[in-house]
Amino acid sequence: MGSGEQSAVTTLFPDQLETDRLRLDVVDPASTDAFEHYEAFADDPDPETVYEYVPVSEPATPDESRAFVENAGSNRDDADAVTYAIYPTGDEPMAGTLAGTTTLFVEWDREAASSAIVLRKPFWGRGYSGERAGALLELAFGRLDLAHFGVSCVAGNDRSKRAIEKYVEAHGGRYDGRLRHAHAIDGEPVDLHWFSISRSEYRAATDDAD
């Protein structure tokens, strides 16, 4: 595929999303520098904390970053998921630095989406997760016309839970419950907190906000 061409599938998911303070750039081999990903995420001073409750590990080599980027590209081609690199913009501290990555997963036959985020520690506490979620929700419910959004975090990840609670509530959704032993990470069972937003809840919440 030459430059300037885009398949119909890749235009399902835009190349870029923008919020007040963030730029989300799609991750795929054509758009992303694997070395930038590697340099941002490798040798994290506090890897336990960044990745503690996320089933992703820091890239041990540039090749792992390359594999991450390729995988994101192939998921985008299959329309299964789209991954964005998150950059603060404007006057934000460390604007233009790769702050994290986020993925929107889509199950078309269920008309449902879910999301995940990995945010580096220097960028915590700024509300970036909620802001990025707003952009993904608009993509899911607005552009992609999906019916349902679900999201979870591992029990114990209080930071994540608080961030999710805030944006789910802001978008009309609800807490579904703590599901015990609903997942396993590195062979150990974990509990998940589940949240969901329906299309009608999203519309009611965002129409009111206009």
**Which residues in this chain contact another protein in the complex, by CB under 8 A?**
110, 112, 147-148, 150, 175-184, 187, 189, 194, 196, 198
- Nearest-approach distance from CB 143 to another protein, in angstroms: 20
Would you say 44 or 191 has its CB closer to another protein? Answer: 191
- Nearest-approach distance from CB 6 to another protein, in angstroms: 31
Phi and psi based region of residue 192 (left: phi greater than 0; alpha: psi -120 to 50; beta: remaining)? beta
- Nearest-approach distance from CB 193 to another protein, in angstroms: 10
Q: Two tokens at 83?
A: 């991954």
Would you say 162 or 181 has its CB closer to another protein? Answer: 181
- How buried is 136 (Cβ within 10 angstroms: 0-12 exposed, 13-18 middle, 19+ buried)? buried
- Nearest-approach distance from CB 101 to another protein, in angstroms: 26
Would you say 42 or 179 has its CB closer to another protein? Answer: 179
Would you say 121 or 174 has its CB closer to another protein? Answer: 174
Pairing mode, strands 112-119 and 81-88? unpaired
Give the C-alpha separation, 186 to 202, whole Å: 34
